[in-house]
């Protein structure tokens, strides 16, 4: 406990001093799609991973207890095969990522959703695969997008933003209660803004990088557009995945404008 307290307080003292420097970092190289936005990173990766790994383990255990984890073996195998191809390609953007402890699981649910937690912990709800009848390339489009969030450490960036705005003392107090239960964990996660949707610029960045990853992995980048058209067609009840993400018309046009840039990467894999 003392060590954690010490490191958080040290962080508090040094944050203001180093802000101009860390504000100029970027967790990945820009790729052919030119994702070169500078990031404000005041909280360490380790601090974020400690929190999110705990939350992830809780999610997975809950699903297992409810009999909803990885129920369709063939489906999980299919997802992991696609993930492996994409993860191999992360090296271009971020060399350390291929050594991460990547995980891919399904949770049985009608919900049209998929997400990633920091450090590469991917979850697909069965609803998104089955209801949208996703092709491998469309799954790769979603997964590439989610992997991009992890590579760019978008959650760490969100936490850094609330760290800067909310004040350090509050954050340190929250994190100190970490081992004493789930309520505290949930409290720290919401205090850090980790439960909030990603920002628009993070979403558009994840789309760009995801597109490059899928093309490099040998999936036709046009599938990203067919995916979003399927999302749009779900109509009436706005799917969760869509509601936490910006307008699908905007993202479809961004994706379409970038397809010529990444097409040579895809064609290089099919030759």
Residue positions annotated with a catalytic role: 146
Q: Which stretch binds Zn ion (CB under 5 A): 99-107, 129-137, 168-176, 201-209?
A: 201-209
SS3 label, residue 31: coil
Task: Give the residue from 249, 166, 162, 158 showing the smallest Cα distance to 198.
Answer: 158
Q: Pattern 202-241, binding to Zn ion, x per CB under 5 A? A: -x--x-----------------------------------
Q: Which is nearer to Zn ion, 37 or 64 (CB)?
A: 37
Task: Give the residue from 183, 239, 172 showing the smallest Cα distance to 54.
Answer: 183
Q: Which is nearer to Zn ion, 203 or 220 (CB)?
A: 203
Q: Which is nearer to Zn ion, 161 or 174 (CB)?
A: 161
Nearest distance, CB of residue 245 and Zn ion, angstroms:
5
Nearest distance, CB of residue 206 and Zn ion, angstroms:
5
Nearest distance, CB of residue 44 and Zn ion, angstroms:
23
Q: Distance from first CA to last CA of the chain, Å, rounded?
A: 56
Q: Which stretch binds Zn ion (CB under 5 A): 103-111, 116-124, 195-203, 225-233?
A: 195-203
SS3 label, residue 261: helix
User: Nearest 5°: phi and psi at 220?
Assistant: -55, 115
Which residue matches tokens 């998929």? 114
In this structure, the strands spanning 121-125 and 103-107 are parallel
Footprint of Zn ion (CB under 5 A): 203, 206
């Amino acid at each position: 406990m003392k060590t954690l307290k010490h490191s958080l307080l040290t962080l508090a003292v040094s944050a203001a001093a180093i802000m101009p420097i860390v504000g100029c970092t970027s967790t990945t190289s820009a790729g052919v799609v030119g994702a070169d936005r500078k990031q404000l990173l005041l909280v360490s990766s380790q601090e974020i991973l400690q929190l999110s790994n705990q939350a992830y383990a809780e999610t997975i255990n809950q699903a297992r207890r409810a009999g909803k984890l990885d129920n369709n073996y063939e489906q999980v195998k299919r997802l992991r095969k696609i993930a492996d191809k994409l993860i191999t390609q992360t090296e271009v953007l971020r060399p350390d990522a291929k050594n991460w402890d990547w995980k891919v699981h399904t949770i049985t649910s009608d919900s049209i959703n998929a997400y990633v937690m920091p450090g590469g912990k991917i979850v697909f709800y069965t609803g998104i695969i089955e209801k949208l009848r996703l092709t491998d390339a469309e799954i790769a489009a979603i997964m590439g997008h989610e992997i991009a969030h992890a590579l760019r450490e978008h959650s760490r960036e969100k936490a850094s933003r609330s760290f800067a705005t909310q004040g350090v003392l509050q954050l340190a107090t929250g994190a100190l209660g970490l081992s004493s239960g789930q309520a505290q964990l949930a409290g720290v996660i919401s205090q850090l803004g980790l439960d909030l949707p990603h920002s628009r610029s993070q979403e558009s960045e994840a789309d760009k990088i995801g597109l490059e990853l899928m093309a490099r992995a040998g999936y036709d980048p046009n599938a990203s557009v067919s995916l979003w058209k399927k999302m749009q067609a779900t109509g009436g009840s706005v799917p969760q995945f869509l509601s936490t993400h910006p307008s699908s018309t905007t993202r479809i046009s961004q994706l379409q404008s970038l397809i010529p840039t990444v097409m040579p990467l895809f064609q290089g894999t099919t030759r």
